[in-house]
Chains A and B, each alone.
Chain A
């Protein structure tokens, strides 16, 4: 039996709960204690909700006693603070929404609550999910559990750090250009961005609607399959949700990758990628090959344009989505202004932080008269080419394997003054959102004592193949069992 309750995976906790060796209340209390002890150093939580958590834990214990417990009943979780939770503040780590209390639950929150998962709190993030280090939180930065002088990645830095440090068994994050996978990579855990449309976005505060997707951050691949199965599936309240019933993702965890065709796009191992990270990935590929997969180098020549496409499309969509924060319906409102226009200007000036302002301005510029064709329309056309390139690659390969992040976790403050350098942190993850395909990051080794993530990219709705590949690799390695000393 594991020494501490806060180190457990979902499957480990499940068997303790089902054998009545621990109650959901005890498991929840152990995680609340862990948060109290270490979150002052990690900063993964914007808010902790102990009373609500213990109330939910008692409901879970009742369900377990009735013999009515699914795989997530009684499991402590954290939700990124851009997903609406009824009656519990949802801030997006922004002054703009610091006091916003949603009148409804996001679909994913509702689904997890129905399954008696226990929310212990809300996760810190880059403001409005814009950033790669969680330093853009208006409240405080989150720190990497492997080295508290380094960033956890972003924008789901809180959710990733909470899982890595044992403050939550799993977390939900959102991923617009890498915001689940890059922090999962930097914190040494598993994170998946599902196919666009697989998970409902209803109740997720919108950033870039054609790119945003919700997904789980977990300690291992099995847990990832369990949580994904609970949140996936069509939702009439999200018109971009794919009409389908999700399969049993845990059934995909066969451990068998014999004959699996793996493409290795050389652009992801080139200039700008730390050679030590690229080497770690080559060793991981050798491991997959030894398990029977067929590994072959390939090319995705439009990769180098993806960053520019993303930083035109995402800010453009953001500038439209964030226009709703006008100080009238909810959120911060400059009450000291004279008229309506001044109120709007002051509300945005005081409510939004520097990165959010930067992206809104960039998007407004790209969409404005005279620039629309050169920037926005051009980016949408190159998006088509990038999508085609992935489609062609998947004619030949079952999955593509790349690094998740070009480097291991960097130091706090290193890139915060240089937006272009910060944007390069997402160079390996952004093309996946542009193509709308699914991709996972999972632990694949360490460089200088810091975790390295392997990104496995799949076909649209190819989550099962990704999970199978990741699981086989995980079974053959020990990386997922490593925990930071805190």
Chain B
């Protein structure tokens, strides 16, 4: 089936949505590879799914709740042990506003 190719702008737009840094080589390679992969997906459009509900999960478990009991959470030291940057008991982030 004839299928349109992604443009470099489209690839950069998807990367921006995800905040994924890509260099120009990566943009070009991904443009080609994603276009090829998407072309293989178009066959799905020929399947009749009228009145077919979507499946998100194969196990029909709904509203799984735990008892409302208290428990001791993981110590803050453990939680912060892998933090690239911390300040006291907080994760430190870089400036959000430029």
Q: Which A residues are within 8 Å of any B CB, using their own CB?
A: 99-101, 103-104, 196-197, 210, 236, 239-240, 242, 302, 304-305, 307-309, 311-312, 319, 323, 326-331, 333, 335, 337-341, 343-346, 348-350, 352, 354, 357-358, 360-362, 364-365, 368, 374-375, 377-385, 387, 419-420, 423, 434-437, 460
Contacts and interface: CB of A to CB of B under 8 A. Distances in A.
Contacts of A377: 54
Given A240-B61, A436-B59, 10 more contacts: A210-B57, A304-B43, A311-B41, A329-B82, A330-B83, A364-B17, A381-B54, A382-B52, A423-B37, A436-B58
B49 to A, nearest CB: 4
Contact of B30 (A240, A311, A358, A378): A358
A354 B47 CA distance: 31
B21 A340 contact: no
Contact of B52 (A333, A349, A362, A385): A385
Interface of B: 11, 14-15, 17-23, 26, 29-30, 33-34, 36-38, 40-41, 43-45, 47, 49, 52-59, 61, 64, 66, 74, 78-79, 81-85, 91, 93-98
Nearest to B41: A308
A319 B57 contact: no
Given A104-B74, A242-B59, A420 B40 contact: yes
Given A311-B37, A360-B18, A361-B34, A197 B59 contact: yes
Output the residue of A354, A377, A378, A437 with the most chain B CB within 10 A.
Answer: A378
A348 B52 contact: no
Nearest to A350: B21
Given A242-B61, A381-B49, A419 B37 contact: yes
A434 B98 CA distance: 44
A345 B19 contact: yes
A378 B45 contact: yes
Contacts of B91: 328-329
